[in-house]
Amino acid sequence: MKPRIITRTILLVSLVSLFTDIASEMLYPVMPIYLKSINFSVLLILILEGVAEMTAGLSKGYFGNLSDKKGVRMPFVRFGYALSAISKPLLAAFAFPLWIFFARTIDRLGKGIRTSARDALLSDETTKEHKAKVFGFHRAFDTVGAAIGPVVALVFLYFYPGHYTWLFIIAFFPGIVAIAITFAVKEKKRSVPDVEKKRTGFLEFLKYWKKSPPLFKKLVIGLLFFTFLNSSDALLLLTLNKNGLTDTQVIAFYIFYNLVYALASYPLGVLADKTGMKKILLLGLAMFAVVYFAFGFAGLWWHFAILFFLYGVYAAASEGISKAWISNISNKDETATAIGFFNSFSSIFSLLANLFAGLICFYFSFKISFIISGIGVGLLVIYFMVALPGLKKQNP
């Protein structure tokens, strides 16, 4: 009898992500619009997102390393989801910029605490041959939540336009459901040598780079360059708003994108396990390049419909698969550290990306920002084709 690919733990962790994303994504598509309503500039919005993501990223490295050292995953997962749930009503308390920064940072800190441990937990539950499937399955659930959340926001704002504060409060409740589910997850016991249980330095995860395999270095260098060219999705949503689409229509496009993302994640994960992760990752990056370049010239609703469809396929072909590939390259006892290392630097580069895109938009235009990203990622695809192993099955 073949072992189950989707175990009880994988299913429960995926459900936790689903409910958390319902909460988070109720707010994400309206955040740029809400922030503009309280006088945040485009540059300040992008800086906020970048700072929040950098906070998450730096903590991903530390807490991922700590999870490996302690030999446990769930305490980090549970506490991280709890912080993110608490941050939602905090956003409703005050409309001051510093308070918004604080609440948003609390949310991202929670993500930083849980993400590397959660991804390592998913990796622990499967084998190298099924990593892309498992990460694709989890990503599908996560993204279904990301589609349901905006639907709730869309319905609420239809009846109560502009009532963002109550939306922040409502988002607290699916977060509570997610925390409750974490108590049903039972992780496998892992033995950790006593020598590894010493105090973990905040930046100790940086040491992983020296001992990481060459393939990890080549993959991460390329992915970080991609992150630098990939500004917050808030820029895409603001572009829709700038082209005359209403708040409701902007949210509808975001729902559509997430549905495509969710539906494509598991099939592309299965395909990646069969044909090789490199092929699917390159497909995703190529689609991103096309979408961003075309965004610089799009102006009609049907242009955006096509581009958001392709953007959903890009997301399904990249995020989960890149994590699956990194987890396959790393030593099993250092999975959270390896993923955390990448996530930490990815978040720093995300901040730089938002700063760069914000400055380009401020001094030039949205169009120039999109074209630069599209061309840059097109060149990155060539780098991956040359630097990484051949296009045969690459699931080391």
Collect all residues with Cβ–Cβ distance below 8 Å to 12 and sequence separation of at least 6. Answer: 181, 182, 184, 185
HSE-up of residue 174 (Cα within 13 Å, Cβ side): 22
Copy the structure tokens of residue 322.
């890149």
Question: With contact defined as beta carbons under 8 Å apart, do 344 and 58 qualify?
Answer: yes
If pLDDT is split at 50, 70 and 90, which confidence band does 394 have?
very low
CA distances to 3, 121, 335 from 178, in Å: 27, 17, 24
Q: Which of 2, 179, 9 is nearest to 87 (CA)?
A: 179
* 49-60 tens-digit pLDDT: 667 767 777 788
* 272-327 tens-digit pLDDT: 999 889 999 999 999 999 999 998 888 788 899 999 999 999 999 998 899 899 98
Calpha distance 353→46 (Å, rounded)? 9
If pLDDT is split at 50, 70 and 90, which confidence band does 199 have?
low
Query: What is the DSSP-derived secondary structure letter of residue 88?
Result: H
* 102-159 tens-digit pLDDT: 888 888 889 889 989 999 999 988 888 899 999 999 999 998 988 898 888 878 888 8
HEC letters along 237-260: HHHHHHCCCCHHHHHHHHHHHHHH
Question: With contact defined as beta carbons under 8 Å apart, do 374 and 290 qualify?
Answer: yes
Per-residue pLDDT at 10 = 93
Residue 343 reports pLDDT greater than 70: yes
Residue by residue, DSSP assigns 357-384 as HHHHHHHT-HHHHHHHHHHHHHHHHHHH
Out of 33-42, 284-293, 301-310, 360-369, pick the least confident. Answer: 33-42
Per-residue pLDDT at 141 = 93
* 62-83 tens-digit pLDDT: 899 999 888 889 999 999 999 9
Residue 97 reports pLDDT greater than 90: no
The percentage of residues in the chain with a pLDDT greater than 70, rounded to a whole number, is 91
If pLDDT is split at 50, 70 and 90, which confidence band does 202 have?
confident
Distance of CA 52 to the CA centre of its chain: 13
Higher pLDDT, 14 or 350: 14
Calpha distance 101→43 (Å, rounded)? 14
Average pLDDT of the residues of the chain: 85
How many angstroms separate the most distant Cα atoms in the chain? Answer: 62
Calpha distance 250→212 (Å, rounded)? 42
Question: Would you tell me the crossing angle of helices 301-316 and 319-329 to the nearest 10 degrees?
Answer: 20
Per-residue pLDDT at 355 = 83
pTM of the model: 0.82
Calpha distance 390→205 (Å, rounded)? 30
Per-residue pLDDT at 347 = 80
Per-residue pLDDT at 95 = 66
Calpha distance 150→247 (Å, rounded)? 11
- In the three-class reduction of DSSP (H, G, I as helix; E, B as strand; rest coil), residue 52 is classed as helix
First to last CA, the chain: 25
Per-residue pLDDT at 49 = 67
If pLDDT is split at 50, 70 and 90, which confidence band does 395 have?
very low
CATH superfamily of 8-186+210-387: MFS general substrate transporter like domains (1.20.1250.20)
Per-residue pLDDT at 286 = 95
* 237-250 tens-digit pLDDT: 888 888 888 877 88
